[in-house]
Amino acid sequence: MVSFSRSCLSTATLRDALALTKLALIALAMGAITFTPVPSAYASDYPNRPIRLIIGFPPGAAADVSARILAHPMSQQLGQQVVVESRPGAGSSIAAQYVVRAPNDGYTLFLGSSANLTNHIITPDLTFDFTKDFAPISLVTSLPLILVVHPSIGVSTVPELIALAKSKPGQIHYASAGNGSAPHLAGELFNVRAGVKLLHVPYKGSPPAVTDLLAGRVPVMFSPASTVVPHIAAGKLKALASTGAKRPAIAADLPTMVEAGLAGFETTIWYGLMAPAGTPKEVIEKVASAANAALKGDETIVNLRRQGIETIGSTPNEYASFIERELKKWTATADAAGLKQ
C-alpha cells in the first residue's frame, strides 16, 4: 500500500506540474508574464583574474604605445593585471574578430580605433559588425598624423609634393598601416583634395610601413606622430605637415595641412576601449571608471604626450555617440573617394 500511495502521489504531482507549466506558457504567450534580466553573478567581484587587452597593431605602433602606457594604471585601479596582447593585420580586423568571438565576461577587451570604423565602412564583407558586435567603454587617446617623405623624393613642402605627384600620375606610392586605417584614409583624402593619384601600399601596422619608408622602398606616408618623430629629428625622414586642427606639441614648428594649403583637411587617429556586445553593464562601468581614472594620472598624461598622444576619456554613452558622428563623417568621405568595395 505504501508503494502504491507513493506512486499515486508522484503521478498526481507530475500531472499538477504539467498543468501549471501549460498555464505558464499560455500566460507568457499572452504577455501576462515578463522577465527582468538579473545582473551576472560575477559582476560584483569583477575582476578576479587578469584581463587581456587585445590590440590590432604590432609592437611600437601608436595603439601599442597607448595600450601599454594605460595598462599599468588601469591594473592598479582594477586590482588585477591588464595584459596587452597584439594580433596585427587587416587594419585591426583580425584582432576585432578575435574579440567578437571571445566570452562577453569582461576578461577580453579590445582597443578599438578609427581604423575599425573605416574598415566597417569600406569593407562590407567583414565577418562582424563593428557598430553592433562591440560595447563601447571609453575613448582613451588620440593623435594627429604627420605627412612624411623620404629625403630622396626631393620635396620639402606639401605644394611641392602635389606638383611632383601631378607630374607623375600613378607613379608615386604611399604606405599605410593597412586597408581602412587612418593613414590609408588620409592618403585617399589627400588624393581627393589635391587632385592627385598616389598609389596605396598597405602594411600590417605603421612600424613595418615606416621600415620600408626609411629604406626608401616607398617614398610617402601619413604616419602617427609617435612612430616617426624620432626619425624626423634624426634627419632620416622629412616632415611636411600634420593633419590635426592645430599644431601638435611634439612638432610645434610643423604646419597643419590646412596651413599648407589644403582647406578642410583635418583628421586624427583615435583609440577607445571596447568589449564584446552583451558584456554586463556593471562590468562596462567598472572598466570605464578605471580607464578614466588612469587617464587623469599625471604620469600617464606625461608619458603619452612624449609620444605625441593626447588623453581623452569618456563615458560609454559618450563614446557611442562619438562613433555615430564618426560613422557619418567617414561614410561621406569614403563615398567621395570611391573607397567602398
Read off the pLDDT of each residue in 234-248 and give the average, rounded to a whole number: 93
The reply to whether 137 and 275 lie within a common domain is yes
Read off the pLDDT of each residue in 297-318 and give the average, rounded to a whole number: 94
The reply to whether 71 and 155 lie within a common domain is no
Q: How far apart are CA 267 and CA 225, in angstroms?
A: 13
Q: Which of 224, 251, 278 is the last residue of a domain?
A: 251
Confidence of residue 44 (pLDDT cuts 50, 70, 90): confident
The reply to whether 76 and 113 lie within a common domain is yes
Print the domain residue range for 117.
46-143+268-337
| Residue 28 maps to a domain | no
For residue range 185-233, what is the model confidence (pLDDT) as tens digits? 899 889 988 999 999 999 988 889 999 999 999 999 999 887 898 999 9
Confidence of residue 316 (pLDDT cuts 50, 70, 90): very high
The reply to whether 137 and 278 lie within a common domain is yes
Domain at 151, CATH number: 3.40.190.10
Per-residue b or e along 240-249, where b marks 16 or more CB atoms closer than 10 Å to that residue's CB: bbbbbeebbe
The reply to whether 284 and 227 lie within a common domain is no
For residue range 250-267, what is the model confidence (pLDDT) as tens digits? 888 999 999 999 988 988
What is the model's pLDDT at position 277?
A: 98
The reply to whether 103 and 51 lie within a common domain is yes
| Residue 25 maps to a domain | no
Residue with cell 632620416: 236
Confidence of residue 29 (pLDDT cuts 50, 70, 90): very low
Confidence of residue 23 (pLDDT cuts 50, 70, 90): very low
Residue with cell 501549460: 22
Question: Mean of the per-residue pLDDT values for the chain?
Answer: 87
What is the model's pLDDT at position 34?
A: 36
Residue % of the chain over a pLDDT of 70: 87
Domain count for the chain: 2
The answer to whether 269 touches 145, Cβ cutoff 8 Å, is: yes
| Residue 247 maps to a domain | yes
Residue 177 one-letter amino acid: A
What is the model's pLDDT at position 341?
A: 61
What is the model's pLDDT at position 174?
A: 98
Domain at 119, CATH number: 3.40.190.150
